Structure 1
Amino acid sequence: MLGSSHIVLSAIAMTLIVGVRYLITSGLFAWLTDKVRPGLYQGLKPQIGREIRWSLYSAAIYGIPTGIVAWGWQNRGWTQIYTDWNAYPLWYLPISVLLYLFAHDTWFYWTHRWMHVPKWFRIAHAVHHDSRPPTAWAAMSFHPIEALTGAVVIPALVFLIPIHAAMLGFVLFIMTLMGVTNHMGWELFPRWLVQGRLGQGLITASHHQLHHARYTCNYGLYFRFWDRLCGTDKGLGAFQDRKSRPREDASLSDATRSA
């Protein structure tokens, strides 16, 4: 009985952590957007309110399984998370991060394409694409079904792939950073990175912007590998003036025709 109450407390605590992390991170980048691109989110208060509401629902869906797994790691040794720096060679530290990111990216690409199947787009993924244009608050704005597909990834991976606790924290940092910056509506990273050789393999806001404009391309999360392999990489998008929003709305019909 005592163990069950501790699991519940862990799930509640992790939900609060995920929710507060979202509010702080998205709030920080929304504030930065207001300073760097003043007026970009003007007139979007109702949309931002919806994004925050859906994101806080998602925080619970992400937080509950994470809290349960965290309890199991600390109290039952369920996972492959380790804290001893000597448990594995130091060269394995960056390898483990890349393994997690690639596995997450793979899962995201294919579930994201599945979410663009007309039935599932209408049921779930339309919530995320209701952000037109997306803002820094939209990173976790998901229908519960979509949030559930994302929430299982990292909790599942910690049972399969050994990773140091600090490296796991770094993975979560990258996941949070890219989730927010890819939806801000402007490019945070310098042109030399985005348009250079490194940018040819990484996803930033310029790449993801085209997905929100066309719906049927650029499905990846971190890397352009699967998009390039499957022929769904259509390059970098342009950040259009807010007056061109009807063009984005027109793409809704495309979203319901093809995955």
Structure 2
Amino acid sequence: MPDFTNPLVFLLATLVMFLVVVGRYFVIAGLFQFWFYRFRGKQWNSRSLGKKKEGNTQFYRELKWSTITSLIFAFAGTFTAILWQKGYTKLYLNLEDYPLWYMPLSLLVSMLIHETYYYWLHRWMHRPKVFKLLHKVHHDSSTTSAWTAFSFHPLEGILQAIILPLTIIFLPMHVYVLLFQLTIMTFSSVINHLEIETYPANFHRHFVGRWLIGATHHSLHHKQFKYNFGLYFTFWDKWKKTESPKFSSLFEEKTNGFAKENKS
């Protein structure tokens, strides 16, 4: 087992993690952007980035910040490996250490912790002075795209990166569950920033769908600022009454409009 505290090993491990994080992000964001631009082009164009030049400017800006964020996440990953190697975490490798049913349970608990942390962090970042320092970079994309998903100021990137290392200090998680959650995070962030709704009509009324955040839900946050602060789930927004009153009507407009276009 390599010693991650060795400076050379630390840098090499961080480089490998960076390539994994940025590669996974670019592949997922690129595929979603191409697929939904290609097959839901009319809906995209009706809420597009505007002129081509402005869209290109936003794309390159988001690409820059997303690359920096991926590097921050990579450093967080190497730091987590050091914590694990030194015995400071509850991360485990042996499947027999805990029953198999605990694996999905630990994923759910970790996601609920992450959701709670992010909701309140997000609301704090919308305080005027904090917003200008930390969160404005992300909101420079008022009309979002898949590339907005990781477009954060470095300080916000650090705040987002610390929650999982902190969680596994006290919550036992199998390494595969941790990696699965990281993948869910990337998919969720890309989907939520697509602007084009990926869920089917009436999904926002489904007993599962009503608790999941999607593109319409989060796009309203980028336009209205004072609503829809959640990450994966809507329960904090519903409980604290910060869900946009325009969400249902806009979701229906987007999904029903696409359904009609698809039939014609």
**TM-score, structure 1 normalization:** 0.86
Residue type at the aligned position of 1:233: E
In structure 2, the gaps of 5 or more residues are: 255-264
Match of 2:181 among 155, 171, 175: 171
Say which structure is richer in helix.
2
- Structure 2 Cα separation of the partners of residues 4 and 130 of structure 1: 36
* Worse overlay, 136-145 or 152-161: 152-161
Q: Is the 8 A contact 1:82 1:164 kept in 2?
A: yes
Cα RMSD for the two superposed structures: 2.1
Match of 2:122 among 91, 112, 115: 112
Aligned residue among 51, 67, 70 for 2:81: 70
Q: Percent identity?
A: 37
Q: Are 1:11 and 2:11 an aligned pair?
A: no
CA contact (8 A) 1:69 1:155 kept: yes
State the 4+ residue runs in structure 1 displaced beyond 6 angstroms.
none
Describe how 1:19-98 pairs up with structure 2 within 5 A.
19-38=22-41, 39=45, 40=48, 43=52, 44-73=55-84, 75-98=85-108
Taking the aligned partners of 2:216 and 2:125, their CA distance within structure 1 comes to: 21
Structure 2 SS opposite 1:232: coil
| Higher deviation after alignment, 230-239 or 213-222 | 230-239
The 1-side partners of 2:78 and 2:20 are apart by 10
Q: Deviation at 1:72?
A: 4.2
How far did 1:18 drift? 1.4
Q: How does 1:141-160 map to 2 (within 5 A)?
A: 141-160=151-170
Greater mean deviation of Cα atoms: 29-38 or 215-224: 29-38
After alignment, is 164-173 or 92-101 more displaced?
Answer: 164-173
Q: Deviations over 1:198-221 (max 9, x none)?
A: 122121112112211211011000
| In structure 1, distance between residues paired with 2:171 and 2:112 | 12
Instruction: State how far apart, in whole Å, the 2-side matches of 1:187 and 1:27 are.
Output: 16
Residue of structure 2 in register with 1:194 after alignment: 204
User: How far, CA to CA, are the matches of 2:57 and 2:7 in structure 1?
Assistant: 40
Q: Deviations over 1:61-92 (max 9, x none)?
A: 1110211212443x434321112222112221
Superimposed CA distance per residue, residues 170-223 of structure 1 (whole angstroms, 9 cap, x where no aligned partner): 211211111000000111122243331212212111211221121101100011
Aligned residue for 2:243, secondary structure, equals: coil
Q: What's 2:258 paired with?
A: none
Q: Which residue does 1:224 correspond to in 2? A: 234
How many angstroms apart in 2 are the aligned matches of 1:10 and 1:138? 26
Unpaired runs of 5+ in structure 1?
242-259
Aligned length, in residue pairs = 240
Q: Deviations over 1:135-191 (max 9, x none)?
A: 010000011111111011112212121111121122112111110000001111222
Partner residue, 2:260: none
Q: Secondary structure at the match of 1:86?
A: helix
**CA 1:71–1:10: 2 relative to 1, 3 Å:** farther
1:117 and 1:132 map into 2 onto residues whose CA distance is 18
